[in-house]
Amino acid sequence: MTLTSAFIPPADRIASFKPYFFAALGKKINELKARGMDVIRIDMGSPDLPPAPFIVDSLIESAKRADTHAYTPNGGTPAFKQAVAKYYLERFEVDLDPQCEVIGLIGSKEGLFNLSQVILNPGDISLVPDPGYPVYSASGLIAGGEIFYFPLTRERNFLPDLDAIPADVLARAKILWLNYPNNPTGAVATMAFFEEAVAFARKHNILLAHDAPYTEVCFDGYIAPSILQVPGAKDVTIEFNSLSKSYNMAGWRLGMAVGNQDVIRYLFTYKSQMDTSTFAPIFAAGVTALSGDQSWLHERNAIYKARRDLVVNGLRAAGFTLEIPRAAIYVWAQLPKGYTGSTEFCARLLEETGVSMTPGIVYGQHGEGFVRISLGTPTNRIEEAMQRLVKWIE
């Protein structure tokens, strides 16, 4: 008997899902490379620069020890949770109890996905920004929830109009997703907006989930806040953070969720059923990253800024319309006049020049007509990509 794909069909909750965009894109890029094309990837938000050497040294020294290879505590070692609390206190003046208001994650994406599983019941609504990180909506749908998309537009500096969300939607809403500094737009939020969002969540009895992995990637004197700096925010808020972008540790898979202790407890219970935490030396390196010398981040951010300026100048020379981002590792740009479809534009650009950008439609319907460029590529390659783009547009 020969088994076919129809023999054991997938669960209904995932049957309609397609592979993550970047997985399919990677396959296409490999085909082009096999044909001899020199491909420059400025699509995926994966840092190309390594962590500071002292962070790597901490991992190595911990891994050499004989007592660091067993299972680690679910939700993180005490030392890691204490380091997270210390970081939040020193960086944001936010006081966290490491025992009940902090949990370690296998990268923040895991926590983002799990939040929908522990909060949403079938029929509950998740309020998701459009454009926005796809896991916000995917996790909600897999949990059996419904998604209400609220637009982020250039006219509002990519901040939502929360008061425009209909009352009947708010009556069933359980989670409000926010993300600043923002992926994909690079937009930033003011403390006044955060205060408005916390008050909104409190008024409507909604959990505010703030995804904040780019707080340490800032330019031009900007310093990103935490939404937990709003007085009383912990009553209605959980914030996700990550060492992936902040400390160039993307592949290490280490992040954290902080804030409302009830939600932290839900995540702890869920994680205790699905994973066995992270390798102890990675936690040790995370402690070193959070509590060690932070000055190297200024040098790293200067490299990102130089790349940002190359991209901004190149895109403008090619006819794109854009705002200069003050944070995160992305440039979000509106297509030149005469172009409307972001998928077709990016596909043609890749096929004809070897430059790979991300079509805005990947991040939602309001992302159509835009592209996202990542700064996580060597500077000389970004410069080459912009030269190819300008020549191609001409």
What is the pLDDT at residue 10? 87
pLDDT at residue 5, as a whole number: 54
| pLDDT tens track for 33-59 | 999 999 999 999 899 999 999 999 999
- The answer to whether the beta carbons of residues 42 and 389 sit under 8 Å apart is no
Tokens describing residue 262: 């009830």
pLDDT the model gives residue 335? 98
Whether the per-residue pLDDT at 2 is higher than 80: the answer is no
pLDDT of residue 9: 87
- What single-letter DSSP state applies at residue 271? H
The domain locations on the chain are 19-48+296-393, 54-291
- What is the fold of 19-48+296-393? Aspartate Aminotransferase, domain 1 (3.90.1150)
* pLDDT for res 16: 81
Residue 13: is its pLDDT beyond 90?
no
- b/e map of 311-331 (b: 16 or more CB within 10 Å)? bbebbeebbbebbebbbbbbb
- Residue 310 phi, psi (nearest 5): -60, -45
Rounded Cα–Cα distance for residues 14 and 214 (Å):
30
pLDDT at 6 over 80: no
Q: Which of 27-36, 136-145, 294-303, 352-361 has the lowest mean pLDDT?
A: 27-36
pLDDT digits (tens, 9 = 90+) for 201-248: 999 999 999 999 999 999 999 999 999 999 999 999 999 999 999 999
Q: Which helix (H) or strand (E) holds 15?
A: helix 12-15
Q: Is the pLDDT of residue 124 over 60?
A: yes
% of the chain residues with pLDDT over 90: 92
- pTM value is 0.95
As a dihedral over the C-alpha atoms of residue 116, residue 118, residue 122, residue 128, rounded to 10 degrees, the angle is -20
> Residue 224, Cα to own-chain centre: how many angstroms?
15
Give the model confidence (pLDDT) of 296-322 as tens digits.
Answer: 999 999 999 999 999 999 999 999 999
Mind listing the pLDDT tens digit for each residue in 246-305? 999 999 999 999 999 999 999 999 999 999 999 999 999 999 999 999 999 999 999 999
At what angle are helices 379-393 and 342-353 packed, to 10 degrees? 110
Question: Helix, strand or coil for residue 56?
Answer: helix
Q: Are 360 and 332 in contact (CB under 8 A)?
A: yes
Helices 296-317, 379-393: crossing angle, 10 deg rounding: 10
Give mean pLDDT, residues 335-355: 95
DSSP letter string, 128-177: EEES--HHHHHHHHHTT-EEEEEE--GGGTT---GGGS-HHHHTTEEEEE
What are the two backbone dihedrals, phi and then psi, of residue 70, each rounded to the nearest 5 degrees?
-90, 180
pLDDT at 1: 43
Amino acid in position 1: M
User: What is the token pair recorded at 15?
Assistant: 């049957």
What is the pLDDT averaged over residues 339-353? Answer: 95
Over 70: is that where the pLDDT of 21 sits? yes
Query: Residue 352 belongs to what H/E stretch?
Result: helix 342-353
pLDDT tens, residue by residue, 148-177: 999 999 999 999 999 999 999 999 999 999
Residue 4 confidence class, pLDDT cut points 50, 70, 90: low
CB of 252 closer than 8 Å to CB of 285: yes
63-105 pLDDT, tens digit each = 999 999 999 999 999 999 999 999 999 999 999 999 999 999 9
Tokens for 155, please give them.
């006219």
CATH 3.40.640.10 at 54-291, yes or no: yes
| 384 Cβ contact list (under 8 Å, min separation 6) | 40
Q: What angle do CA 91, 95, 98 make, to 5 degrees?
A: 105
Count of helices and strands (H, E) across the chain: 14, 13
Tell me the two tokens of residue 26.
Answer: 């990677």
Q: What is the Rg, in whole angstroms, of the alpha carbon atoms belonging to the chain?
A: 21
